[in-house]
Chain A
Amino acid sequence: MTDRVAGGQGRHVGPARGWAGPLGHAVHIVAALAGLLIVIQSLIVVQARPQDLVTGIHGMADILRRAMPPDFTQLDKELWPALETVDIAIFGTLAGVMMALPLAVLAAANVTPSRPLYYAARGIIGFTRAVPDLVWALFFVTAVGLGPFPGGLALAVHSIGMLGRLFAETIEHMDMAPIDALALTGARRLQIFTHGVVPSVLPALLGIGLYRLDENIRASLVLGFVGAGGIGFQLLTAMNLFQYREVSLLLIVIFVIVLIAERLSAMLREKLA
């Protein structure tokens, strides 16, 4: 297919996009069948049995009945683990930001000082992101023992990957004109970074950091399941002991934490925009 001239105005338009005619219909049908096959195989692999939901409704209703009303007498006991959960997320996010920032600079193609450092930084970012935070938590529980510290470490290391990638992309997409202009004034490399790169991308990086904090608060809720501190440990214990009224209280506390974190994060990000 070659370029066509539109409307006799001499304006070139690109080659026709997509498929036309009977061949196009055949391609659409094959694509639709392929999509259907993907959905069917996923239903088979997850052994989806909707009828079990119907037969299991009595069990669910029983748990709900036993969970009501929430046991608010336990509230003061849950406040410390709740604070621990939030602090695990704050520690994990701050440590993650501090480690992700230099890595992101090395991993941003437009500002990296050298190609080998670029690939090394990309490798670290990719690896820390690929391993789930729960696996990192198991690893650190083994290394430093039970408690909130391994939880914080797990979130920090996983955050390096998540933040590093987003930070690097933000730096790569920034306007390079002011950076080039500073370079031509005779400014040094680090000065260009602190006077040009940092002020240009800082609000976006803070926004990403706040979003990560919001995500980390959710993540820290379940880290307790593997002994990494926080309210997740209380939740697991209450469930194992069939204390469903305490479970429902914990779910309310979790809901409030998530809601507040989400609103605060959104509010601050809006201010930074």
Chain B
Amino acid sequence: MLEVRGLSLRYPNGKQALTDFSLAVAAGELVIVLGGNGSGKTTLLRCIARALVPGAGTIRVNGTDLTRLAGDRLRRARLELAMISQQAALVRRRSVLANVASGALGRHGGIWTTLGGLPNAELAAAHLHLDEVGLAPLAAQRAGTLSGGQAQRVAIARALAQRPRVLLADEPVASLDPEAAEDIMRLLRRLAAEENLAVLCVLHQVELAYAYADRVVGIRDGSVAFDLPRADLSREAVRQLYLSEAA
């Protein structure tokens, strides 16, 4: 479903953020990326979402190479690929329901959505997505009034409204308490299985990777340090990954 091959990116300041990075995530699979601070985890996700332009490599989503696209073709290709980040990034003064439904805007090009309206069908679908993340009763509430965990769930519901094939999650539990973090990880796990989503999730919490990942990819200095099924991931490999950061 998602296939990254030989991805490289150098920042304008000369820092090599990614070097010949490759990975693949199949439909229904939850792959967790672990790595120290500044190892290139967020850059990898932003690169895959084409928020950053890679210097080399290919990013294939369902067979389409995103690196070859620009303008409206890239915008349409992005519909297949949703991203959630550490901050839920909701429009605080809009309702929870409107925030979720706005995930579907890319599929609607009419005057109504351009003027700020949302199609009734998408509002109804947004209700279902909210129900899926357990927040249907909060649909009418302003997004700015939600707790961190609730806001993150709404961000996930917005991603679902996009009807993506791939879900990228950049440290989605970084600012949450342990219970809320477990909640979100359980939700991602369930969505991967039930919605047949390819989920690529960047985390700092090793224990969550052990608990929820199908596969774990270690990233060090922008390169793949290991790519292993969860069952094969040794504590030593993880220790080495973070040791290199301390060094």
A residues bordering B, Cβ < 8 Å? 175, 177-178, 180-182, 184-188, 190-191, 194-196, 198-200, 202-203
Say whether A191 contacts B91, CB under 8 Å. no
Task: State the Cβ distance, A90 to closest chain B Cβ, in Å.
Answer: 25
Task: State the Cβ distance, A94 to closest chain B Cβ, in Å.
Answer: 20
| Cα separation A177 to B107 with both chains bound (whole Å) | 21
Partner of A185 from B85, B102, B114 at Cβ < 8 Å: B102
Q: Which 4 A-B pairs have the closest CB atoms?
A: A186-B106, A181-B89, A177-B89, A187-B105
| Cα separation A102 to B229 with both chains bound (whole Å) | 53
Closest to A202 in B: B93
Partner of B91 from A184, A188, A196, A203 at Cβ < 8 Å: A196
Question: Does B116 touch A at the CB level, under 8 Å?
Answer: yes
Report which residue of B49, B77, B89 has the largest number of chain A beta carbons within 10 angstroms of its beta carbon.
B89
Question: Does B113 touch A at the CB level, under 8 Å?
Answer: yes
Say whether B162 contacts A178, CB under 8 Å. no
Say whether A194 contacts B115, CB under 8 Å. yes
Known: A185-B103, A185-B106. A195 touches B89 (CB 8 A): no
Bitwise interface map of B from 73 to 96 toward A, beta carbon under 8 Å scored 1, else 0: 001111100110101011111100
Say whether B114 contacts A187, CB under 8 Å. no
| Cα separation A203 to B98 with both chains bound (whole Å) | 17
B91 surroundings in chain A (CB, below 8 A):
178, 195-196, 199-200
Task: State the Cβ distance, B172 to closest chain A Cβ, in Å.
Answer: 13
| Cα separation A188 to B98 with both chains bound (whole Å) | 16
Interface residues on B, range: 20 to 34
Say whether B82 contacts A185, CB under 8 Å. yes
Say whether A198 contacts B78, CB under 8 Å. no
B106 surroundings in chain A (CB, below 8 A):
185-188
Say whether B116 contacts A195, CB under 8 Å. yes
A191 surroundings in chain B (CB, below 8 A):
105, 113-114
A196 surroundings in chain B (CB, below 8 A):
91, 102
Task: State the Cβ distance, A64 to closest chain B Cβ, in Å.
Answer: 51
B93 surroundings in chain A (CB, below 8 A):
199-200, 202-203
B residues bordering A, Cβ < 8 Å? 49, 51, 75-79, 82-83, 85, 87, 89-94, 98, 102-107, 109, 113-116, 155, 158-159, 162
Partner of A186 from B79, B85, B87, B158 at Cβ < 8 Å: B79
Say whether A188 contacts B75, CB under 8 Å. yes
Task: State the Cβ distance, A197 to closest chain B Cβ, in Å.
Answer: 9
Closest to A187 in B: B105
B114 surroundings in chain A (CB, below 8 A):
188, 190-191, 194
| Cα separation A186 to B94 with both chains bound (whole Å) | 19
A–B complex contacts, Cβ < 8 Å, 21 sampled: A177-B85, A177-B89, A178-B89, A178-B90, A178-B91, A178-B92, A181-B155, A182-B102, A185-B82, A185-B105, A185-B159, A186-B107, A187-B105, A190-B114, A191-B113, A194-B114, A195-B91, A196-B91, A198-B116, A199-B93, A199-B94
| Cα separation A199 to B142 with both chains bound (whole Å) | 12
| Cα separation A199 to B155 with both chains bound (whole Å) | 17
Say whether A180 contacts B116, CB under 8 Å. no
Report which residue of A177, A187, A196 has the largest number of chain B beta carbons within 10 angstroms of its beta carbon.
A187
| Cα separation A105 to B115 with both chains bound (whole Å) | 16
A184 surroundings in chain B (CB, below 8 A):
49, 51, 78, 82-83
A195 surroundings in chain B (CB, below 8 A):
91, 94, 98, 102, 105, 113, 116
| Cα separation A187 to B114 with both chains bound (whole Å) | 10
| Cα separation A194 to B110 with both chains bound (whole Å) | 13
Task: State the Cβ distance, B202 to closest chain A Cβ, in Å.
Answer: 15
Say whether B158 contacts A185, CB under 8 Å. yes
Task: State the Cβ distance, A136 to closest chain B Cβ, in Å.
Answer: 33
Q: A185-B162, A198-B116 are in contact. List 11 more A-B contacts (CB 8 A).
A: A175-B92, A177-B87, A181-B85, A185-B79, A185-B82, A186-B106, A188-B109, A194-B116, A195-B105, A199-B93, A200-B91
Say whether B116 contacts A200, CB under 8 Å. no
